[in-house]
Chains A and B, each alone.
Chain A
Amino acid sequence: AAGVIQSPRHLIKEKRETATLKCYPIPRHDTVYWYQQGPGQDPQFLISFYEKMQSDKGSIPDRFSAQQFSDYHSELNMSSLELGDSALYFCASSLGGYPGNTIYFGEGSWLTVV
């Protein structure tokens, strides 16, 4: 079965640079989520989109922005990178807003800021 696809899997950036992460949700899923997981931490919710509109916002820094495109893929743009942005970034998708629906996660994108 198709899963959530994230790219790139690994990237290394220098401080103050910009990074873009891409996410391709499971086909027919209409909701995309972004999470950030620091080393040894639980995943922290950043932002979500439903039918290409922002549906919820968590602890996403102002330096970060995201959008969902007409083909439902999503991109997370991170600017003025800081050392503390080094983390594993997950994209996830689900079908609809019913709370019992499973949210499926991608394998994550490892960002290292040096």
Chain B
Amino acid sequence: GNSVTQMEGPVTLSEEAFLTINCTYTATGYPSLFWYVQYPGEGLQLLLKATKADDKGSNKGFEATYRKETTSFHLEKGSVQVSDSAVYFCALRETSGSRLTFGEGTQLTVNP
């Protein structure tokens, strides 16, 4: 079946540091890939997405590139801010299905 794996453990960074959150997936066919963000006490918000290989999704300084050869969709940001502190979920939606399958989530804490 389909699955998404994110890097283990929470991530703590200082403001203006570079961020990478790794995400790899297993799927049949050619899924669409998403990053969602969940701020404390809030719902899930779409951060960015990519629908085919080599597509790059970007939003609010975050970027992720759909790498079919490595089945990855790593999230990056060049300079994080305190306001980026949240839980980040990588997710896929398979070609023929409709549901989103989520990774375990990565808690990001950015300190001033």
The interface of chain A, by Cβ under 8 A from chain B, is 31, 33, 41-43, 45, 48, 50, 55-56, 58, 90, 92, 94, 97, 99-100, 102-108
Interface size class on chain B is 20 to 34
**Is B32 on the interface with A (CB-CB < 8 A)?**
yes
Residue of chain B at shortest CB distance from A106: B43
Binding site for A on B (CB under 8 A): 31-32, 34, 36, 42-46, 49, 51, 89, 93-105
A55 to B96 CA separation, bound complex (whole angstroms): 12
With a 10 A CB-CB cut-off, give which of A31, A33, A45, A56 has the most chain B CB atoms: A45
Which 10 residue pairs of A and B lie closest in terms of their CB atoms, listed nearest first? A100-B51, A107-B43, A105-B44, A42-B102, A99-B32, A99-B93, A100-B32, A45-B99, A105-B43, A108-B43
Chain A residues whose C-beta falls within 8 Å of the C-beta of B44 in the assembled complex: 43, 90, 92, 105
- The number of inter-chain residue pairs (CB within 8 angstroms) is 60
Q: Does A31 lie within 8 Å of B98, measured CB to CB?
A: yes
Please list 17 pairs of residues, one from A and one from B, whose beta carbons are closer than 8 Å in the complex, sorted by A's number. Answer: A33-B98, A33-B100, A42-B89, A42-B105, A43-B44, A56-B98, A58-B99, A90-B44, A94-B98, A97-B98, A99-B93, A99-B95, A100-B93, A103-B46, A103-B100, A104-B46, A108-B43
Q: Hey, which chain A residues are within 8 Å of B100, CB to CB?
A: 33, 43, 45, 92, 103
Whether B104 lies near A103 (C-beta < 8 A) is no
A58-B99, A90-B43, A100-B32 known; 8 new pairs, CB 8 Å cut-off, are: A50-B98, A55-B98, A56-B97, A100-B49, A102-B49, A103-B46, A104-B46, A108-B43
Residue of B nearest to A43 (CB): B102
A99 touches B43 (CB 8 A): no
Interchain nearest-CB distance for A72 vs B (Å): 15
Residues from chain A with a CB closer than 8 A to the CB of B51 are: 99-100
Residues from chain A with Cβ under 8 Å of B34 in the complex: 102
Contact B99 A33 (CB under 8 A): yes
Cβ contacts under 8 Å, A100 to chain B = 32, 49, 51, 93
Contact of B98 among A41, A48, A105 (CB under 8 A): A48
